[in-house]
Structure 1
Amino acid sequence: MELATAYQKLGADVTVIEQREDAMPAYGASVTEVVRERAKDLGVEFAFGLTAIDWEPAGKGLTLLAETDDRTVAEFGAETCLVAVGREPVTDTVNLAAADIETDGRGIIITDNKARTSADHIFAVGDAAGDPMLAHAAFAEGEVAAEVIAGEPAALDHRGVPAAVFTDPEVGTVGLTEFEAREAGFDPVVGEMPLRASGRAMTLGDTDGFVRVVADNDGGFVLGGEVVGPEASELIATLGIAVELGATLEDVAKTIHVHPTLSEAVHEAVKNARDQSVHC
């Protein structure tokens, strides 16, 4: 979706073919809806419930073949086709077994929170060590590994690692969603601030999206959050800090945010979770 929106803005005619029934199936419906509808407004076309199975040369371009669950085949003509089906580690090019390094069924090297593999003197970081397969997570994993090798106390908790999707609008996530929190045994409370109520978003002319925060109803600890909208990749860091430090809703609510800014939406979402919001 990142490249779909980028190329559409550059003047290309983009069609997204998705096996699932929505554009970003890894995210919740409310997140996906905002991104999908903005992409449609830009002119991106979608074909859901189709699996790409093959392609054939056609003039200066190609014909992509995709099929439905009932094996009906659809054809799409294009100049270029991008296959974007996720990441996988490239660990089968070295003989890991010879070093007693264990991997899982996907070829991911199994590590602990210190980046150590099953061979105590060997460490693995980045995509080879599995999710979240993000550059900034890999940087942090590398630092932890270096500190542990140097004999320093260090460990990494991935719960506080934020992620971003650079679509239009952007998406930022960290920690647990409401569903994940409930599955983990928490009694979650959710606060939300729609950007249409944000003065700064209104002056930017970009009010599609929201800030959502998830916390434990018992202790008030911030468990996670989602941001959809302008600068979501920047705003999510605030909630990432809250998750990492074990901050409560009260801690964030009592932290004064600058007016008028987009970060106020984070503040309002937190206050909304405490039934204290002013603007939503």
Structure 2
Amino acid sequence: MNSYDVAIIGSGPGGYVAAIRCAQLGMKTAIIEKYSTLGGTCLNVGCIPSKALLDSSHHYEDAVKHFEEHGIEIPGEVKVNLEKMIARKQAVVDQTCAGVEFLMKKNSIEVYEGLGSFADATHINIKKNDGKTEKIEAKHTIIATGSKPSTLPFITIDKERIITSTEALKLKEIPKHMVIIGGGVIGLELGQVYKRLGAEVSVVEYMDRIIPTMDASLSKELQKVMKKQKVKFYTSHKVKSVERNGDEIVIKADDKKGKEVEFKGDYCLVSVGRRPYTDGLNVEAAGVKLNDSGQVEVNDHLQTSVSNIYAIGDVVRGAMLAHKAEEEGVMVAEILAGQKPHIDYNLIPGVVYTWPEVAAVGKTEEELKEAGVKYKVGQFPMRALGRARASMDIDGFVKILADADTDEVLGVHMIGARVADLIAEAVTAMEFRASAEDIARMSHSHPTYAEAVKEAALAATEDRALHV
């Protein structure tokens, strides 16, 4: 029987990064993955493939709608080759997954392909795809089994017409009308992909606004922009039935007045969130406890109810984000090595990769009001930037929330071109407890989108914005 200092179950961003850091710190490390490729949801059916399709569809939309204005003329009709677009997406996925495989070899990490399940707290059974079972011993185990798409109890996902994000990433045709249940990140991103390619898209959301966990001003602006892109929104609608009749899907929902509304489409994308995935893990055999939501219970050090077993990523509490899982993977590895790492969960940014992009870190206005914190607001519109006008990406703004007394930055909320990258400046500033004036006094290169951050900081500092 092979023995290891650390065994990691799951090879997503949390799991494979944890494995690399453990190996770097001198631990004999194994990683167990039930699928034939490494990388988990993010690399295979999540972050990476969705961004590939978002980029491809964005190029198509630019060619159809914007090239002429830029002085670029294309003879003949611009056409979508969906099969080729999906193939390019898959090539990106394959290359990225192969990169993880290379990193495992580079760091001498033993990879086991099969379903890992606990025999007890220090032994793991690995059921391989050929039906054979192998057992390994691990001094410590990190559970990194991630999440799966959620559904509603009355919906039957047939993976053909009633689909999750997994199937939406490999459709063989462009839908005529895609009805999306759920106005969160996944639904909006994939909805925008197919809207650009020619589908009619309707978003049905239970809450009173889309992206409901983010600052309300971002929700309002994104909905306004996507409405201009001809996406239809039905907020405060409670879906109560989804039925398939041949190639037609009929969705019934009650609006906020209790009146029944009916939607018909040829595809229904169910994107009502994700659930922690522990199926087949046999945590009971190890004594690991789950909470009522199905998450693995952990303490502040990500340690489970069993002292030598840890859990990270989507399978534990907190935002289901790849970069959060990575930070937790590194944290556990360093704890096992006797170090004292920490994570400030308030400073883990959230991003929506629509266009315009949406990004945020820290507290929302709603949270500050609820906590009774006195704050000031500095906001700057993207359309006032020379860079935005040059690129024809003028939608959105940057908003900075700062403490009314100390001027410390408490939250930064952005919508606009490239804000998924721009948010890192805000994270850095807040990590070092910067004030709005600190950011306002930093030189920002011109012309860039980043100037909006400086201007928003100036606006929060005695209303000193220069370009509005």
2:246 is the counterpart of 1:63: no
Q: 1:212 is paired with a residue of what secondary structure?
A: strand
> What is the alpha-carbon distance in structure 2 between the residues aligned to residue 250 and residue 20 of structure 1?
36
Higher mean displacement: 65-74 or 228-237: 65-74
Deviations 1:53-92 (A, max 9, x none): 2222223232222234565433222111111111221236
- In 2, are the aligned partners of 1:23 and 1:36 still within 8 Å (CA)? yes
> What is the alpha-carbon distance in structure 2 between the residues aligned to residue 70 and residue 192 of structure 1?
35
List alignment gaps of at least 5 residues for structure 1: none
**Alignment-mate amino acid for residue 288 of structure 2:** I
Give the Å deviation of 1:240. Answer: 1.0
TM-score by length of 1: 0.92
Number of positions where the alignment pairs a residue of Structure 1 with one of Structure 2:
280
Higher mean displacement: 45-54 or 143-152: 45-54
What residue number does 1:38 align with?
A: 225
**Alignment-mate amino acid for residue 433 of structure 2:** G
Percent of aligned positions that are identical: 38
Higher mean displacement: 37-46 or 235-244: 37-46
**Alignment-mate amino acid for residue 460 of structure 2:** A
Asked which structure has the greater CA Rg, the reply is 2
- In 2, are the aligned partners of 1:16 and 1:46 still within 8 Å (CA)? yes
What residue number does 2:466 align with?
A: 278
List alignment gaps of at least 5 residues for structure 2: 1-187
2:236 is the counterpart of 1:49: yes
What residue number does 1:209 align with?
A: 396
**Alignment-mate amino acid for residue 264 of structure 1:** E
What residue number does 2:316 align with?
A: 129
**Alignment-mate amino acid for residue 386 of structure 2:** G
What residue number does 1:261 align with?
A: 448
Give the Å deviation of 1:262. Answer: 0.3
> What is the alpha-carbon distance in structure 1 between the residues aligned to residue 394 and residue 439 of structure 2?
23
Map 1:46-125 → 2, pairs under 5 A? 46-68=233-255, 72-91=259-278, 93-125=280-312
> What is the alpha-carbon distance in structure 2 between the residues aligned to residue 271 and residue 103 of structure 1?
47
- In 2, are the aligned partners of 1:178 and 1:190 still within 8 Å (CA)? no
Match of 2:378 among 191, 195, 203: 191
> What is the alpha-carbon distance in structure 2 between the residues aligned to residue 169 and residue 279 of structure 1?
21
2:347 is the counterpart of 1:160: yes
**Alignment-mate amino acid for residue 66 of structure 1:** A
> What is the alpha-carbon distance in structure 2 between the residues aligned to residue 218 and residue 101 of structure 1?
46
Distance 1:11 1:198, change over 3 A: same
What residue number does 2:203 align with?
A: 16
Q: 2:276 is paired with a residue of what secondary structure?
A: coil
TM-score by length of 2: 0.56
Give the Å deviation of 1:122. Answer: 1.5
**Alignment-mate amino acid for residue 278 of structure 1:** L
2:334 is the counterpart of 1:150: no
**Alignment-mate amino acid for residue 119 of structure 1:** V
What residue number does 2:30 align with?
A: none
Distance 1:117 1:243, change over 3 A: farther
Map 1:170-181 → 2, pairs under 5 A? 170-181=357-368
- In 1, are the aligned partners of 2:214 and 2:360 still within 8 Å (CA)? no
Q: 1:123 is paired with a residue of what secondary structure?
A: strand
Give the Å deviation of 1:171. Answer: 0.6
2:212 is the counterpart of 1:25: yes
CA RMSD of superposed structures (Å) = 2.0
Higher mean displacement: 54-63 or 233-242: 54-63
Q: 2:373 is paired with a residue of what secondary structure?
A: coil
> What is the alpha-carbon distance in structure 1 between the residues aligned to residue 300 and residue 402 of structure 2?
24
Give the Å deviation of 1:100. Answer: 4.1
Q: 1:88 is paired with a residue of what secondary structure?
A: strand
**Alignment-mate amino acid for residue 202 of structure 2:** T
Give the Å deviation of 1:222. Answer: 1.3
The answer to which structure, 1 or 2, has the higher relative contact order (CA under 8 A, 6+ apart) is 2
Give the Å deviation of 1:115. Answer: 2.1
- In 2, are the aligned partners of 1:171 and 1:232 still within 8 Å (CA)? yes
- In 2, are the aligned partners of 1:126 and 1:138 still within 8 Å (CA)? yes
> What is the alpha-carbon distance in structure 1 between the residues aligned to residue 220 and residue 373 of structure 2?
27
> What is the alpha-carbon distance in structure 1 between the residues aligned to residue 231 and residue 381 of structure 2?
25
**Alignment-mate amino acid for residue 318 of structure 2:** D
Give the Å deviation of 1:251. Answer: 2.2
Higher mean displacement: 208-217 or 27-36: 27-36
Give the Å deviation of 1:95. Answer: 4.3
Deviations 1:27-74 (A, max 9, x none): 343212221122222221222332222222223232222234565433
> What is the alpha-carbon distance in structure 2 between the residues aligned to residue 80 and residue 209 of structure 1?
30
Distance 1:135 1:254, change over 3 A: same
Distance 1:112 1:213, change over 3 A: farther
Deviations 1:183-239 (A, max 9, x none): 345321221111121121121112111101112222222111100111111111111
Give the Å deviation of 1:170. Answer: 1.0
> What is the alpha-carbon distance in structure 1 between the residues aligned to residue 446 and residue 326 of structure 2?
33
What residue number does 1:5 align with?
A: 192
> What is the alpha-carbon distance in structure 1 between the residues aligned to residue 389 and residue 401 of structure 2?
25
What residue number does 1:140 align with?
A: 327
> What is the alpha-carbon distance in structure 2 between the residues aligned to residue 129 and residue 34 of structure 1?
31
What residue number does 2:160 align with?
A: none
